[in-house]
Amino acid sequence: MKLLVGIRHIPIFSAFLIKSLFCFSQISTPKFQSFEPIVTNKSTSNKLSESTNNLIQNKEEEERKIESKYALSPKINQVNEENVKAMYGANSVDPDNRSDALSYFNKSFQQFLQINPDSFSITKAVYLSEMPYYSQSYSYSEFEKVIEQKAQLVKFILKQEGLNEKSNLALHYAIQKLFGQLNDIKDPLHNKYYTLDKIRYDFEDPMGENDWTKMFVTKLLLTNKGQCHSLPLLYLCISEHLGAKAYLSLSPNHSFIQFFDESGKRYNYETTNAHLVSTSWLMQSTYVNSTAYKNKTYLDTLSNRKLYAQCLADLLLCYQEKLKVNYDSFSQLLINKILKEDSVNLTALMVRANYYITTFEKLACSKGYPSIKDFYKFPDLQLAYNNAKVTQQAITVTGFQEMPPEAYNKWQESLKDEKTKEHEKYEQEKMNIEIKKLQMVQNSLTNKPQK
């Protein structure tokens, strides 16, 4: 597949990962299965229902006794490969017997391993996370060339606006013009102006439920339309090619951009509607609880290492979607690496939690659904229970909570109301004041008499 020159949410997922996007209309993060009553697809008798209820009874005192008697597995980040193969059978893909498709993912993973997580190219990382899906049908140089062209357009805008390329605020102001409006760019060679369409939000299948490539920056470069997973990543890639400092930030089912001006003031930029928003507005409108905010799970800037882990998580979800697997030995390799770099990466924790919970449910079924107090009679069931519980607890302490569809719909509607529009206008005006100051400084330097 060739990229057309000049054009272009973990939430994403496998059968066990309910596609609840990292950004409902966008990033996909897996929705981990709640560690609640076991659910089967078969009709069940009252007796089975009673056994199931006994299995997940919430008797805190009893659970404390069990947990104190049976130590939790110290190897929570390891999965027995024989159990994996037994669970998924033909759906499991062994890296030692790779198919052509798997070989592309392994090639990308090996390249990720050569990258320094604390200092890397986000453009290269995005390419590596998406390229295997297309069976490496386009080169990195092709991909990067289109990003570089976007960066050149920003430089044209800076020149026309009379702004200095060395100002971080000015760079972001110009980048945002690619997202927020049509732009008339002058071709100095032919002395003509060309109108460039703005980068738009894609309302068609934004969660990638019918077409996984809707999640990709590649697709965004090809169509000039994206969603809350791909749009912020493109923003980061353009920033990188301009030397602008920008950060990816997360909120429930969503991602956005943060950056700072020369005085250290923080700005939040919503790429899906091309507007600046305040942190208080994000707190009130994006379903962030106090625990998640305190733990910096949401609304904080991702460090390079966490961003690296998130790109690996994208590769993981891409792999599962492409090969239609839920969990196998290659998934395990990816998850181990992700959690090594970011122990609280929600995508990796959720995929692992789904595996542990499914393992537990299958074992419980095979044992006739014993009650919790009898788990000690079945060491494999006890271990599966411990692993599932510990992994879910690891997710809970981050402050993560599933954003209900009604809450997301309410948030979407809030973007259209007058109060939100006034808020966005106010935030933009504050930035415009700073930009005018920069323009005045640049103008004075440009018109300064030569000695």
Q: Is the dihedral of CA 282, 285, 290, 291 positive or negative?
A: negative
What kind and span of H or E run contains 254?
A: strand 254-260
The residue ranking higher by pLDDT, 391 or 447, is: 391
Partners of 355 in the β-ladder: none
Mean pLDDT, rounded, for 15-43: 34
* Integer angstrom CA distances of residue 169 from 20, 46, 173, 232, 430: 34, 65, 6, 17, 12
Q: Calculate Rg over the CA atoms of the chain.
A: 24
Residues in contact with 160: Cβ distance below 8 Å, sequence separation at least 6, in sequence order: 185, 186
Distance CA 370, CA 373 (A): 8
Asked whether residue 66 carries a pLDDT value surpassing 80, the answer given is no
Query: Would you say 217 and 226 are in contact if contact means Cβ atoms under 8 Å apart?
Result: yes
> How confident is the model at residue 255, as a pLDDT?
92
Band of residue 151 on the pLDDT scale cut at 50, 70, 90: very high
- Listed in order, strand segments (DSSP E) in 41-197 are 183-187, 192-196
The residue ranking higher by pLDDT, 215 or 413, is: 215
Query: Would you say 388 and 372 are in contact if contact means Cβ atoms under 8 Å apart?
Result: no
Residues in contact with 133: Cβ distance below 8 Å, sequence separation at least 6, in sequence order: 212, 213, 216, 318, 321, 322
- Find the angle CA(79)-CA(362)-CA(30) to the nearest 5 degrees: 60
Asked whether residue 106 carries a pLDDT value surpassing 50, the answer given is yes
For the chain, what are the domain ranges? 18-38+72-436
Q: Give the DSSP per-residue string, 227-244.
A: -TTHHHHHHHHHHHHHT-
Distance CA 323, CA 325 (A): 6
pLDDT tens digit sequence for 183-231: 888 777 888 888 889 999 888 877 777 888 899 999 999 999 999 899 9
| Segment of 7-16, 75-84, 121-130, 221-230 carrying the highest mean pLDDT | 121-130
Among 99-103, 274-278, 387-391, 406-410, the range scoring the smallest mean pLDDT is 406-410
**What are the tokens at 377?**
């009679």
